[in-house]
A and B are shown apart, each in its own frame.
Chain A
Amino acid sequence: MSKHIVIIGNGISGITCARHVRKLSKHSITVISSESEHFFSRTALMYIYMGYLKFEHTKPYEDYFWKKNKIDLIKKFVKQVDTKNKLVLFSDGSSIGYDTLVLATGSKSNKFGWPGQDFKGVQGLYHLQDLENMEENTKGVSSAVIIGGGLIGIEMSEMLRSRKIGVIFLVREKNFWDNILPVEEAKMINRHLGEHHVDLRLEAELKEIKADSARRVSSVITNKGEEIPCQFVGLTVGVSPNIDFPKDSGIETQRGILVNEFFETNVTDVYAIGDCAEFRVPPAGRKSIEQVWYTGRMHGETLAKTICGERSAYSPGHWFNSAKFFDIEYQTYGNVPNVITTPLSSFYWEHSSGKICFRLVYDFQSKNLIGINVFGIRMRHEVFDRWLSEGRKIDYVLEHLPEANFDPEFYRKYEPEIIAQYNMESNKNLKLKARKGLLATFFK
């Protein structure tokens, strides 16, 4: 029987769900967003500002795709959901009925009630509208302050530096993103920020934002009492689930919309996925709220199966993630805590340039691979995923490291250096097993 599936939110979670429902069924599908008519890649917003791309390049599908796949798009703002009558109510007074409702409303930027946080020239970066505001707010600006040392903060730094705007970056922690990264990696990024003339101020917090008579930001005051003149303030202290209207609709929420492992909310036929969902019981080793592109996609894939009749629990594989900090690429597979303590141990190698490194986390007793961090070298997701599943020992991983190398041809290979250091530290004599060179081209 054909149902009407209404999905609120056209980000990666909602759209993945819609696409997979379409592949698996003939249900009618409507996707609602007030942000943009078509799906775009949120992670690419920075490249629009920097001039690498235009907005249309960030749309992963050509515009004809939606009609061809019979996915209806509505660009309206949702005011409330009437779960009793199964209606979505829009701000313009109109409404639409549903059989199954998927909430994929994403996040919104955190603001912690700082004095002056609503002055002109103060903003976060999450929505397309934030990007438009940033374009406007940074016109003629020569100096900016960014608050919060995470991924969006460093992206915003890169954006501003691409326009030669001076950036002072206030980070509460001892090192950049060190609530996620171990200290060596975090310090590497500290140094790289300096190379790009970002003035990084560690253990610095925002106290107050001051404005001129036109209510435009003129300076910030830090927890150390220092006043920093600026014309733009980026607030990038994380994001939290966007749950304004679900909260008013009788759908149970806490920090996010509460769901079980099937993404079911407390209301029948209403589901929540992506950034806005909060697991009542998170999957093993996972957080209760997952705010990553990749997890959003997996939520959407999984829920589509449930909607199409095969009730499926969310069961993610090994953790992975990636990012890019100015020029330094970062990949991680498996689990790498920021502080590595028993029963875990780690091996760390850093290239003399100070811009390339590799960390291997393992179980001290069993010597099993737990996770890796890699900066400045590309490695194969498939290989590490397999090694993690197979429970490989670190000696095996190090010997077979060339197999995992995903760097382009002619790139320098660092595996010999890595294994040499490991041999020295552990008094072993491991040798590299695989090869990846020009000759191998002819023989594989």
Chain B
Amino acid sequence: MKSNKGESRRSQSVRNIARGGALLGGALLAILLLVAWLDWNWGREIFSHICHQKGDRCLILGGTALPVCTRCFGIYLGIVLGCIGQLFLDLRSRLTSTALWAVAAGATFANGLDVLLELMRVYTNLLSLRFVQGLCLGAAVALFVLCRAITPSLPNQNGCSNRLPSEVSQG
């Protein structure tokens, strides 16, 4: 029973992190879409420091390219989806550590291989492939972080209040 209570609090803590990640990530995606939709140069300049913004490698919204490339957009969307997945499916209790490592390593390797193959000119500019790989990497990183997250410790191991009886009676 006590163990369940502790587990429930840990689960709540991870849910809070996932909720925060989904909200902040969602806000970031909304800003990216707005910058493209309004063709806002000022916003585009801000994001130019975290992405190359090459037009042919960006998704198009309303005739204007997004301020980040397809892979970056996929990563951000993947992070949001990973957080939502944790919120609604409680993947922390279902995924093993080995599975998490395998998924994260696989997604990272796939992205690295894609960059390498492009540099070797095996193929060029496959937007959908880049988007899917970014999506997988973002979701894998989000799940890796959330499922391995260190949660705050309980006030004491018995699940009782740490306050002294005199403090309780006073207030």
A binds B: no
Query: What residues of chain A have their CB less than 8 Å away from a CB belonging to chain B?
Result: none
Query: What residues of chain B have their CB less than 8 Å away from a CB belonging to chain A?
Result: none
